[in-house]
Structure 1
């Protein structure tokens, strides 16, 4: 019996929509990462980018357990001496709720050459509306 290896020309991508309302950030990010990688498909091949598109709506309504809203800190460095910027999760959710989910999902993807390609298939929106209705995304429940 031969081992099946998927080719990049044979990849068929689906669209999924996820409602982040009330979902825990880390658990949501790990499930989204599985879909982006393609591990939910029987044709999964590690070196082929065979994942699907994921549209996340209501990113501003995620849930963070414990004291994470005030204690979880996101760091950003501008490149200049003394310019290390800090923001809490609470501030990030006010200003850029999309970035919170993108950073969490990016951290859960494998650190290889396929990561940037997979991240381009992740679409995150703060509110309930998204412009991808023409692709007929399937609702995805976790």
Structure 2
């Protein structure tokens, strides 16, 4: 019996809709990362980008455990001297709730050449409206 290896021409992509209301951030991000990688399919091949599209709605209603709202800090650097900027999770949820989920999922994907391609298939929206109705995303319960 030969080992099955999927080719990039054979990939069938689906669209999934995830409602983030009341979901824990890390658990939601790990499940989304599995779908983006294609690990939920029996045709999973590590070196082929065989994952699906994921649309996340209600990103502003995400739930975090413990004292992460006060303690978790996101860092970015402006590439100028003294340009290290810090943002707490509570402030990030007020300003850019989509970015919180996007960064959590990005951190759970493998750090390789396929990560940017997989991240382009993640669509995150703060409210309950999204412009991907024509793709008929299947509701996904996590």
**TM-score of the two chains, using structure 2 as the length reference:** 0.99
Aligned-pair distance for 1:40?
0.2
- Equivalent pairs, count: 142
Q: CA deviation at 1:60?
A: 0.4
Unmatched 5+ stretches in structure 1: none
Q: Which runs of 4+ in 1 moved over 4 A?
A: none
Tell me the distance in 1 between the aligned counterparts of 2:35 and 2:118: 10
Matched, 1:29 2:26: no
Mapping 1:1-142, distance limit 5 Å: 1-142=1-142
Secondary structure at the counterpart of residue 123 of structure 2:
strand
Shift of 1:16: 0.1
Distance between the aligned counterparts of 2:45 and 2:75, measured in 1?
34
User: What's the C-alpha RMSD, in Å, of the aligned pairs?
Assistant: 0.4
Q: CA deviation at 1:99?
A: 0.4
Q: Which runs of 5+ in 2 are unaligned?
A: none
Structure 2: distance between partners of 1:3 and 1:86: 48
C-alpha deviation, 1:83, in angstroms: 1.2
In 2, Cα distance between the equivalents of 1:7 and 1:28? 29
**What displacement does 1:136 show?**
0.3
What is the TM-score normalised by the length of structure 1?
0.99
